[in-house]
Structure 1
Amino acid sequence: MVETAYGLYLLITIAITIWVARTLSKNGEVFLIQCFGHNAELARSTNHLLVVGFYLVNIGFITLTLSLGAEPKTMPDAIRFLSGKVGIAVIVLGAMHFFNMGAISHFGRKVNGWLFDQKVVVA
């Protein structure tokens, strides 16, 4: 029972992490391009770095939390175990997303402000 619950926890949370990372990467590139003053190369590079960091933090969190809490002994315990652990992992994924969006938005405003406040003089 314990091994099955742990296996399901890892399978579910890592699959969700991969799906979220791919979805955010694919759909976030347009946002990043806008934030970085239409510099597509910088946006793609940043997007890739964010995905790598997202995987590292979330998979690290998932594996660390595996050992927390009581081991399930019965089927109801296993369901509670899975729902609690998957729920926490999903909340962390959402929090990471909002943190990243806030940081990128803040950084993007600084970059855009710097880029667009400069006066270009052509002689």
Structure 2
Amino acid sequence: MDLTVVAYVVYLLISVALTVWVARTLSGNGKIFLSDVLHGNEKLADAVNHLLVVGFYLVNLGFVALYLKSADGVGDARGLFEALSVKIGVVLLVLGVMHLGNVYVLNRIRRRGVMEREQTPPVPPQGWTPPAVKA
């Protein structure tokens, strides 16, 4: 079997496995964060979490598929490891950038929600007092 094909198969297996692992990790831990961001609305947090996971899969698996083609053929075992290390390293960097982008956007949303909560008074107004008349 051609070593280039072996490199493709190993690259796909590792990249897809890493993408699934990162997505599941982010999804599981992201539910708590999203629940806080969305003021305890669990159904909305689950829906947003699911949409983020689908987008994460689409972007990352699309990148993995586009990055599959190798410009140079793989001739020996050393070339196989070098090609895999570059390809998997780039996939890991893309996964990390996607993760940081998600966290950044969600943190901005969370900050906005915290600022809105701070602007509402802790106790609703109890009544109206007319202004004092200067004598």
Q: TM-score, normalised by structure 2?
A: 0.82
Alignment coverage as a number of residue pairs:
123
Instruction: Measure, in 2, the Cα distance between the counterparts of 1:21 and 1:106.
Output: 21
CA change 1:112–1:38 in 2 (3 A) is farther
Q: Deviations over 1:42-74 (max 9, x none)?
A: 211111011000000000111111124322121
Match of 1:71 among 73, 85, 88: 73
Give the counterpart letter for 2:95 in structure 1: L
Instruction: Measure, in 2, the Cα distance between the counterparts of 1:58 and 1:23.
Output: 15
1:16 aligns with 18
1:57 aligns with 59
What is the aligned-residue identity percentage? Answer: 41
Stretch moving more, 68-77 or 85-94: 68-77
Instruction: Measure, in 2, the Cα distance between the counterparts of 1:45 and 1:113.
Output: 24
Q: Which has the higher helix share?
A: 1
The answer to whether the Cα contact below 8 Å between 1:17 and 1:58 also exists between their aligned partners in 2 is yes
* Structure 1 residue 121, shift from structure 2 partner: 4.7
* Structure 1 residue 122, shift from structure 2 partner: 8.1
Aligned-residue Cα RMSD (Å) equals 1.8
The answer to whether the Cα contact below 8 Å between 1:37 and 1:112 also exists between their aligned partners in 2 is no
Instruction: Measure, in 2, the Cα distance between the counterparts of 1:46 and 1:100.
Output: 12
The answer to whether the Cα contact below 8 Å between 1:36 and 1:42 also exists between their aligned partners in 2 is yes
Q: TM-score, normalised by structure 1?
A: 0.90
CA change 1:9–1:70 in 2 (3 A) is same
* Alignment gaps of 5+ in structure 2: 127-135
Match of 1:26 among 25, 28, 31: 28
Q: Deviations over 1:72-93 (max 9, x none)?
A: 1211101001111001101110
CA change 1:39–1:100 in 2 (3 A) is same
Stretches (4+) displaced over 2 A: 111-123
1:86 correspondence with 2:85:
no
2:9 aligns with 7
Which of these two proteins has the greater Rg computed from alpha carbons? 2
Instruction: Measure, in 2, the Cα distance between the counterparts of 1:115 and 1:86.
Output: 43
1:107 aligns with 109
